[in-house]
Amino acid sequence: MKKITIAIDGFSSCGKSTMAKDLAKKIGYVYVDTGAMYRSVTLFAMQNNLFSKDGSVKTTELEKRMKDIQISFVFNNETGRPDTYLNGELVEKEIRTLEVSSHVSNIATIPFVREAMVAQQQRMGKDKGLVMDGRDIGTTVFPEAELKIFVTASPEVRAKRRFDELNEKGMPADFDDIFENVKERDYIDSHREVSPLRKANDAIELDNSNMTIAEQSEWLMRKFTDACKKIQ
């Protein structure tokens, strides 16, 4: 069977990564979490004092340091999913904090950051057999992807999912703070000048507000099967 490229885009905390990881595992494809890449750049900026007191990014300094940022993924046999490494250090937990979440959209709007990340993502997917999720995969990174999914859910549902996720990981969180962060990220992601979040014309939309993970997984597998039939 010919391998395809699968692009899953959508709003923050709508379950894209869970869907993408599970599908990749089932069909034996490589999974790439592009959100983790932008979160890693954000963490690097936080660790190296590249944010001003008002929360703005010191872009001139960050651009000079981009060459010092190496992001990689290593498969975790225990979880069955890849872990994110920043310059050789495991940062899977650190990049999921609310503090990183509150800064990542500002990092992701910077043209030279997106250019560097998109170039790396395209190199990862040149041989197909890839599931990638993010904000601009179907529109910018892989506009020719054979299967494009656009995932959405209500802000309230997404905030609750993020709240539960952080609590499960033992990371204290305030629901109201998360809810405001979700809405703020939606606005920034949708209004940035470079590769704004939008549904590709040929993407299939999924509102999973009232779906279980199992239902989402079954739906996505059907769409994958349909896409493969079209290219055989």
pLDDT tens for the chain, 232 residues long, are: 789 999 999 998 898 988 999 999 999 998 888 999 999 999 999 999 999 999 899 999 999 999 999 999 888 888 777 899 999 999 999 999 989 999 998 999 899 999 999 998 998 888 899 999 998 999 999 999 999 999 999 999 999 999 998 888 888 889 999 999 999 989 988 988 878 889 999 999 999 999 999 999 999 999 999 999 988 7
- Return the residue matching tokens 């069955």: 80
Q: Is the pTM of this model over 0.75?
A: yes
Distance CA 53, CA 33 (A): 29
Based on the structure, what is the number of domains in the chain? 1
Distances (CA, A) of 211 to 14, 57, 107, 112: 11, 37, 31, 37
Distance CA 123, CA 119 (A): 6
Distance CA 195, CA 19 (A): 22
Q: How many residues does the chain have?
A: 232
The distance of Cα 100 from the centroid of its chain, to the nearest Å, equals 13
Q: What is the CATH number of the domain that holds 201?
A: 3.40.50.300
Q: What range does the domain containing 89 cover?
A: 5-231
pLDDT of residue 114: 93
